[in-house]
Amino acid sequence: MRRAPTLLAAFSFAVPVLAQNPVVDLSLWTTEHLNGSGPWTVDPPRLWVESTNAAITDCSVFHSDFDVVLLDFRMRIDVAGGDDDIAGFVLGWQPGNSTSATADYVVVDWKRTTQAFQNWGTANAGLAISRVTGPLTRGYGNGPIDLWSHTLNCTELQRSPTYGARGWDFYTDYWFRVLYTASSVDVWLDGVREFGLVGTFPPGRFGCYNYSQSRTGFQFPLPGSFQQFGTGCQGSAGVPYMFSPAVPYAGSSLPIITANLNPAALPLYVLGLSRTFVNSVPLPVALGPYGAPGCSLFVSGDLLLFVTNYQGTAYATLALPAGLIPNSTPVLFVQGMVLDPAANALGVVMSNAAEIAVGVR
């Protein structure tokens, strides 16, 4: 996700959509250190953030600018982080909770291996949900004992039925969904509900959390889109109509279908980086003067790809490389072109067009 390949060169033909209540812009989030000074680094699309510890005892929260209700995200720990400590997230966080005597929030944390350390007590391997009420108690290196061993002002509420005694693995995608309300807390991991609490919970923010575990990363989803525009023109078997039944996501394949074709016609897809100009000529370009009345070119023809005609329907999948930078702004435009000699003097008809914005999940 860090680097995008040359766009058109990267394309080749060959779980439900995640939802979230807010718009995530990590440039608006804030780092709050519970101990130490290790930074959280945000990537250019502002959808991925990763911790970097300055010392082994660093402990911090990178919290949102909104109160959390429903949120989906991916957590992954880079093997370059070494260590075997704690990663997770907090719910109901209020700015200043790191030093507040009246702090009250929920923490979901995951320890890789069971470990006793200095005067902090023992942190047990596995995934757990706890509640912090009150100030943190400082131990060796000023590290918060409460959060390490789930003691003092940190009360462990439940352990995951699946991962309660099993540590996390390096470089593995863990998909979380959180539903946090005033009366309940529900957490799903990889589609399985691991925690369901009922009670009274304070409103507050979501925070990425790390305790002595560098290179903990969080990815927040951005829905892609396939938005149609323009209209096709009459061919020998009707007006070609292009659509996709899927949502474009980096690292996935996007099916593109064009219907209403002459079964003997040869279909293509015109890919372009613009819907405004082709070279210096404004788009759309009317093809009537060239022998195709009612037809228009809507996208710049940067790349032409032949596809297969399945008895009057063109079908192809567009591979969206994982290295594409997600963006809500369209990065690619596509239109169907059909070589149909029976249709008009030019022997070409065009479908409607679409703009593609690549998301991430």
Q: Are residues 277 and 133 in the same domain?
A: no
* 181 part of a folded domain: yes
Query: Per DSSP, what are the bridge partners of residue 300?
Result: none
Residue 245 has φ and ψ, to the nearest 5°, of: -90, 5
Q: Are residues 205 and 73 in the same domain?
A: yes
Closest to 351 measured CA to CA, from 281, 262, 269: 269
* 251 part of a folded domain: yes
Burial state string for 110-119 with b = 16 or more CB within 10 A and e = fewer than 16 = bbbeebebee
Tokens of 20: 């979230």
**How high does pLDDT run on average in the chain?**
92
What is the total count of domains within the chain?
A: 2
Structural domain containing residue 160: 18-219
* 205 part of a folded domain: yes
Q: Are residues 242 and 154 in the same domain?
A: no
Q: Are residues 280 and 176 in the same domain?
A: no
Please report the pLDDT score of residue 329 as a whole number: 86
Secondary structure element (H or E) that encloses residue 180, with its range: strand 174-180
Phi-psi region of 280 (alpha: psi -120 to 50; beta: other; left: phi over 0): alpha
The model's confidence at residue 21, banded by pLDDT at 50, 70 and 90, is low
**Percent of the chain's residues with pLDDT above 70:** 94
Q: Are residues 77 and 102 in the same domain?
A: yes
Domain boundary among 219, 238, 257: 219
Q: Residue 16: CB partners within 8 Å, gap ≥ 6?
A: none
Summarize pLDDT for 183-210 with one digit per residue, the tens.
999 999 999 999 999 999 999 999 999 9
The model's confidence at residue 325, banded by pLDDT at 50, 70 and 90, is confident
Q: Are residues 326 and 197 in the same domain?
A: no
Q: Are residues 47 and 192 in the same domain?
A: yes
**Percent of the chain's residues with pLDDT above 90:** 84
Domain boundary among 219, 239, 273: 219
pLDDT beyond 90 at 22: no
The model's confidence at residue 2, banded by pLDDT at 50, 70 and 90, is very low
Q: Are residues 27 and 126 in the same domain?
A: yes
Please report the pLDDT score of residue 4 as a whole number: 38
Q: How far is the C-alpha of 131 from the C-alpha of 178, rounded, in Å?
A: 16
The model's confidence at residue 23, banded by pLDDT at 50, 70 and 90, is confident
* 150 part of a folded domain: yes
pLDDT beyond 50 at 105: yes
Q: How far is the C-alpha of 145 from the C-alpha of 125, rounded, in Å?
A: 16
pLDDT beyond 50 at 328: yes
* 198 part of a folded domain: yes
Domain boundary among 219, 252, 284: 219
Please report the pLDDT score of residue 15 as a whole number: 33
Secondary structure class of 109 (helix, strand, coil): strand
Tokens of 70: 């429903």
Q: How far is the C-alpha of 170 from the C-alpha of 188, rounded, in Å?
A: 20
Residues 327-348: what's their mean pLDDT?
Answer: 94
Burial state string for 19-41 with b = 16 or more CB within 10 A and e = fewer than 16 = ebeeebebeebebbebbbebebe
* 6 part of a folded domain: no
Q: Are residues 186 and 122 in the same domain?
A: yes
pLDDT beyond 50 at 19: no
Residues 277-292: what's their mean pLDDT?
Answer: 95
Summarize pLDDT for 206-244 with one digit per residue, the tens.
999 999 999 999 999 888 999 999 999 999 999 999 999
Which CATH number does the domain housing residue 290 bear?
2.60.40
DSSP alpha helix (H) spans, the chain: 7-10, 145-149
The DSSP string of 220-272 is --B--EEEEES----BBTB--EEE-SS--BTTSEEEEEEES--TTSEEEEEEE
Summarize pLDDT for 138-172 with one digit per residue, the tens.
999 999 999 999 999 999 999 999 999 999 999 99
* 10 part of a folded domain: no
Q: Are residues 96 and 234 in the same domain?
A: no
Q: Are residues 126 and 272 in the same domain?
A: no
How many other C-beta atoms lie within 10 A of the C-beta of residue 342? 12
* 37 part of a folded domain: yes
Between 23 and 28, the more confident residue is 28
Q: Are residues 318 and 258 in the same domain?
A: yes
